[in-house]
């Protein structure tokens, strides 16, 4: 029982990181029907940017006083989000925007190319080996404070939730309540009509990429503080996990992406714990293929008009 609870906790915290990346996939797919293959690698770049900030710029250690550490981490998250948002916007300008009117597979192939470019830039700068930071979050069991033993929730896992959940709420608010969010939903439904209604389609798409990039950056920071390590090809598998989450929840559907990510996090954790870790990737891909074949609309259904 305790083991199962522990596995669920691990699965949910992994799922929350998946969710941040999955939202980037689902936002972009919802609006221009592009599987943004480079998104996972953007997340990887985000974790490397955070790596540089933590280890060289701010030099945070476990001894840093708590208030200072909170302020520094908040600053790191902000800087990384801005950086990845800017990178994502430039990628959109260079690789996707010129292909708006090309056949649909052209931007996908361009995205694959971009993914390799980002991976190799990281390889060029950081080398082929894993890059690690020292654990800076205190290693305490939050649950032991309230007298529960046997199951642990670490400070890292709390940190994941503290960063991720407000971002998810903010995104939902932005898309559903603001004027720009309405423009995004309109563009997702029908870009031509949205354009005729006065929506600046190009700007809306750019903002979508900015938001997706920022979320990937935040996920990168969370990743490196949670796992304390990053590597140049981290983004490929992670990105496919996140994409699977988006598909699982119903691509284009924000709540779906979060739900899908949590489910996939659990699948990952349970497969690692109870099956065998070397089969986990195969299982994730089998889930992806199964969903696409049998229920392409996902768990919560697609929220975009089918323009295929």
What are 273's two structure tokens?
């714990």
Q: Which helix or strand (DSSP H or E) is residue 230 part of?
A: strand 229-230
Which residue blocks in the chain are alpha helix, DSSP H?
2-32, 39-52, 66-91, 105-126, 142-145, 155-177, 179-189, 191-196, 201-227, 234-249, 254-274, 280-294
Q: Give, as ranges, the residues between 52 and 91 that touch other proteins (CB under 8 A).
A: none
Could you tell me which residues are beta bridge partners of residue 25?
A: none
By the rule CB under 8 A, 213 interacts with other proteins: no
Interface region with other proteins, contact rule CB under 8 A, candidates 55-63, 161-169, 175-183, 279-287? 279-287
Task: Report in angstroms how near the CB of residue 78 gets to other proteins at its nearest.
Answer: 29
Task: Report in angstroms how near the CB of residue 277 gets to other proteins at its nearest.
Answer: 10
> Cα(first)–Cα(last) distance of the chain, in Å?
46
* One residue of 288, 298, 303, 304 binding other proteins per CB under 8 A: 288
By the rule CB under 8 A, 197 interacts with other proteins: no
Residue 33: partners with Cβ closer than 8 Å, 6 or more residues away: 104, 304, 307, 308
By the rule CB under 8 A, 282 interacts with other proteins: yes
Interface region with other proteins, contact rule CB under 8 A, candidates 48-56, 151-159, 167-175, 291-299? 291-299
Cα 25 from Cα 41, distance rounded (Å): 12
Cα 75 from Cα 58, distance rounded (Å): 10
Task: Report in angstroms how near the CB of residue 286 gets to other proteins at its nearest.
Answer: 7
Using DSSP bridges, classify how beta strands 229-230 and 131-132 pair: parallel, antiparallel or unpaired: antiparallel
Q: Give the angle 44-169-7 at the CA atoms, nearest 5°.
A: 60
By the rule CB under 8 A, 271 interacts with other proteins: no
By the rule CB under 8 A, 32 interacts with other proteins: yes
What are 17's two structure tokens?
């990181």
* One residue of 124, 129, 145, 146 binding other proteins per CB under 8 A: 124
By the rule CB under 8 A, 104 interacts with other proteins: yes
Interface region with other proteins, contact rule CB under 8 A, candidates 15-23, 112-120, 165-173, 222-230? 112-120
Interface region with other proteins, contact rule CB under 8 A, candidates 53-61, 79-87, 131-139, 191-199? 191-199
Cα 91 from Cα 45, distance rounded (Å): 13
Summarize as ranges the residues that interact with other proteins (CB under 8 A): 32-35, 94-95, 98-110, 112-117, 119-121, 123-124, 191-192, 195-196, 201-202, 236, 240, 243, 247, 276, 278-279, 281-282, 285-286, 288-289, 292-293, 296, 307-308
């Amino acid at each position: 029982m305790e083991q199962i609870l522990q596995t669920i906790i691990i699965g949910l915290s992994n799922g929350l990181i998946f969710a941040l990346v999955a939202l980037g996939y689902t936002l972009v797919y919802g609006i221009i029907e592009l599987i943004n293959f480079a998104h996972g690698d953007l997340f990887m770049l985000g974790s490397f940017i955070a790596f540089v900030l933590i280890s060289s710029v701010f030099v945070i250690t476990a001894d840093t006083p708590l208030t200072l550490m909170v302020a520094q981490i908040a600053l790191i998250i902000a800087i990384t989000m801005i950086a990845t948002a800017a990178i994502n916007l430039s990628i959109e300008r260079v690789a996707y925007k010129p292909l708006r009117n090309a056949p649909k597979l052209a931007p996908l192939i361009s995205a694959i190319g971009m993914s390799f470019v980002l991976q190799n830039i990281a390889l060029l700068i950081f080398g082929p080996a894993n890059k690690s930071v020292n654990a800076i979050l205190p290693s305490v069991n939050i649950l032991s404070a309230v007298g529960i033993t046997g199951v642990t929730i670490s400070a890292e896992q709390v940190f994941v939730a503290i960063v991720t959940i407000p971002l998810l709420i903010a995104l939902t608010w932005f898309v559903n309540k603001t004027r720009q969010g309405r423009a995004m939903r309109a563009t997702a439904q029908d870009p031509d009509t949205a354009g005729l209604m006065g929506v600046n389609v190009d700007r809306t798409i750019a903002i979508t990429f900015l938001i997706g990039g920022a979320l990937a950056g935040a996920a990168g920071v969370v990743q490196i503080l949670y796992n304390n390590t990053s590597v140049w090809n981290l983004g490929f598998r992670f990105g496919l996990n996140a994409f699977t989450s988006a598909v699982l929840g119903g691509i284009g559907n924000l709540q779906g992406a979060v739900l899908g990510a949590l489910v996939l996090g659990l699948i990952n954790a349970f497969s690692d714990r109870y099956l065998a870790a070397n089969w986990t990737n195969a299982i994730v891909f089998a889930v992806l293929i199964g969903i696409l074949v049998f229920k392409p609309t996902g768990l919560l259904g697609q929220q975009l008009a089918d323009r295929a």
